[in-house]
């Protein structure tokens, strides 16, 4: 079903903008709030954030079944509602079980929102614009998260953590309203079954996409729980405001431009280019401590954060019938979410015995290994 989908894209982007201006942007503040204000130890505080992504990964795998039962439109709305609920729980909650419950709810809602929105965009867009429209949505998300980080930091400086998470929740409510007025397209999904997954993982191309996404998730997880302290250790806290924004600027530009490039030069060149740049960025962060080099590392990781997932969505659009897209997105992207959660927890575990640079060493080595394995696998591809 292809239509003139300007309203679809506009309303969905608006809903995502406010969801990420609030809840999405509050993520870097979660661990510090839980340790400084709520009294949790670092490991438990990190577990709260990691649980979001572990749950995200698990429920992403079964998202085809969820969308089949709930429906695409309601899935999008409930997903945005879960984004709005999480900062409310952090604001009002007072114990680890309550925080974890909020994490689980967000982790269930996030794949509902992302899958419902992306299926609608791909199902209404022309194939020649899969990458472009995916890049517009993801660029909007990155723009919102970057603006939200500054907005919430400003609120924190004025009124503290309580006001920060209250504002984040309120912004999420605007996102709910925007998603409610998005078009309710009637798509007929295929009945989900695990045979689709087993058929998918036998494909060498799908294996490569999943491995790229794991690496992209690892890089993003380190950014959420590690790069801040890494910069402070290597360069001093004065450099935070200079180095960290580079990631967001790179992500915004790479999404808006990368989708257009992906549609013109193809999925695999953009996959390979984005993955290679991110791997180099992780290696630079591990080996060097000069602020300019760390800025370059942040830029390269930001490009990977944008290019790899948008290329994956476009690849799914190319390779998957509209009726199967919800299930296939879940099967493919659950690996990225697990990668994010693993990186968050890896940072917390390693911090007890070594500096954050060891995390970059481990992940960059893993990414290099993945690159070699993918190159060999695609050379022998069976599809």
Residues 6+ apart with CB under 8 A from 227: 244, 247, 285, 298, 356
Question: In a 3-state reduction of DSSP, which class is residue 76?
Answer: helix
Confidence of residue 353 (pLDDT cuts 50, 70, 90): very low
Tell me whether residue 63 is in a domain.
Answer: yes
Q: Is pLDDT at 41 greater than 80 in this prediction? A: yes
Residues, the chain, total?
383
Confidence of residue 380 (pLDDT cuts 50, 70, 90): low
Which tokens sit at 12?
């969905």
Q: Is pLDDT at 381 greater than 60 in this prediction? A: no
The mean per-residue pLDDT over the stretch 84-88 comes to 95
Tell me whether residue 1 is in a domain.
Answer: no
Q: What residue numbers bound the domain in which 67 lies?
A: 6-379
d(CA 337, CA 291): 29
Report whether 295 contacts 168 (CB < 8 A). no
Report whether 248 contacts 224 (CB < 8 A). no
d(CA 27, CA 223): 11
- How confident is the model at residue 83, as a pLDDT? 95
- How confident is the model at residue 80, as a pLDDT? 96
Q: Is pLDDT at 191 greater than 80 in this prediction? A: no
Encode pLDDT of 93-107 as tens digits: 889 999 999 999 999
- How confident is the model at residue 130, as a pLDDT? 94
The DSSP string of 123-143 is: HHS-GGGHHHHHHHHHHHHHH
- How confident is the model at residue 355, as a pLDDT? 60
Tell me whether residue 260 is in a domain.
Answer: yes
- How confident is the model at residue 141, as a pLDDT? 95
- How confident is the model at residue 10, as a pLDDT? 95
Closest CA to 213 of 120, 311, 121, 143: 311
d(CA 308, CA 255): 10
User: 62 or 228, which is more confident?
Assistant: 62
The mean per-residue pLDDT over the stretch 236-256 comes to 86
Q: Tell me, what DSSP letter sits at residue 104? A: H
Instruction: Give me the CATH number covering residue 275.
Output: 1.20.1250.20
Counting the structural domains of the chain, the total is: 1
d(CA 253, CA 265): 17
Residues 6+ apart with CB under 8 A from 217: 53, 335, 336, 337, 338, 339, 340, 341, 342, 343
Report whether 168 contacts 33 (CB < 8 A). no
Encode pLDDT of 135-178 as tens digits: 999 999 999 999 998 999 999 999 999 999 999 999 999 999 99
Tell me whether residue 244 is in a domain.
Answer: yes
Q: Is pLDDT at 192 greater than 80 in this prediction? A: no
Q: Rg of the chain over CA atoms, in angstroms?
A: 19
What mean pLDDT is reported for the chain? 86
- How confident is the model at residue 344, as a pLDDT? 72
- How confident is the model at residue 131, as a pLDDT? 94
Report whether 146 contacts 24 (CB < 8 A). no
Tell me whether residue 205 is in a domain.
Answer: yes
The mean per-residue pLDDT over the stretch 113-124 comes to 94
Q: At what angle do helices 6-19 and 72-92 cross, to 10 degrees?
A: 10
Which tokens sit at 325?
């897209």
d(CA 17, CA 270): 25
User: 224 or 31, which is more confident?
Assistant: 31
The mean per-residue pLDDT over the stretch 202-224 comes to 83
């Amino acid at each position: 079903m292809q239509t003139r989908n300007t309203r679809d894209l506009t309303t969905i982007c608006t809903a995502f903008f406010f969801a990420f201006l609030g809840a999405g942007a509050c993520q870097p503040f979660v661990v510090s709030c839980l340790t400084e204000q709520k009294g949790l130890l670092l490991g438990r505080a990190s577990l709260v954030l990691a649980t979001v992504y572990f749950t995200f990964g698990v429920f992403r795998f079964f998202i085809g079944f969820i969308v089949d039962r709930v429906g695409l439109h309601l899935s999008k709305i409930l997903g945005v509602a879960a984004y709005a609920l999480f900062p409310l729980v952090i604001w009002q909650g007072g114990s680890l079980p309550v925080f974890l419950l909020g994490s689980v709810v967000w982790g269930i809602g996030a794949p509902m929102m992302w899958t419902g929105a992306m299926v609608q965009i791909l199902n209404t867009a022309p194939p020649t614009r899969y990458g472009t429209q995916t890049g517009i949505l993801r660029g909007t998300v990155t723009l919102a998260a970057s603006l939200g980080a500054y907005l919430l930091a400003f609120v924190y400086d004025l009124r503290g953590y309580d006001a920060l998470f209250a504002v984040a929740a309120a912004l999420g409510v605007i996102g709910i309203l925007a998603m409610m007025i998005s078009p309710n397209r009637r798509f007929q999904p295929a009945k989900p079954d695990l045979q689709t997954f087993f058929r998918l993982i036998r494909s060498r191309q799908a294996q490569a996409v999943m491995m790229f996404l794991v690496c992209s998730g690892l890089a993003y997880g380190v950014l959420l729980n590690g790069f801040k302290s890494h910069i402070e250790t290597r360069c001093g806290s004065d450099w935070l405001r200079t180095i960290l924004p580079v990631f967001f600027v790179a992500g915004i530009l790479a999404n808006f431009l990368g989708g257009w490039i992906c549609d013109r030069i193809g999925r695999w060149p953009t996959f390979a280019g984005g993955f290679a740049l991110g791997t180099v960025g992780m290696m630079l962060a591990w080996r060097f401590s000069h602020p300019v080099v760390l800025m370059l590392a942040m830029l390269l990781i930001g490009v990977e954060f944008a290019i790899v997932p948008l290329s994956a969505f476009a690849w799914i659009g190319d390779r998957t019938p509209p009726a199967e897209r919800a299930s296939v997105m879940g099967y493919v992207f659950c690996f990225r979410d697990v990668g994010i959660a693993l990186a968050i927890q890896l940072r917390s575990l390693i911090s007890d015995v070594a500096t954050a640079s060891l995390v970059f060493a481990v992940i960059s080595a893993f990414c290099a290994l993945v690159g070699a394995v993918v190159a060999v696998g695609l050379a022998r591809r069976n599809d």
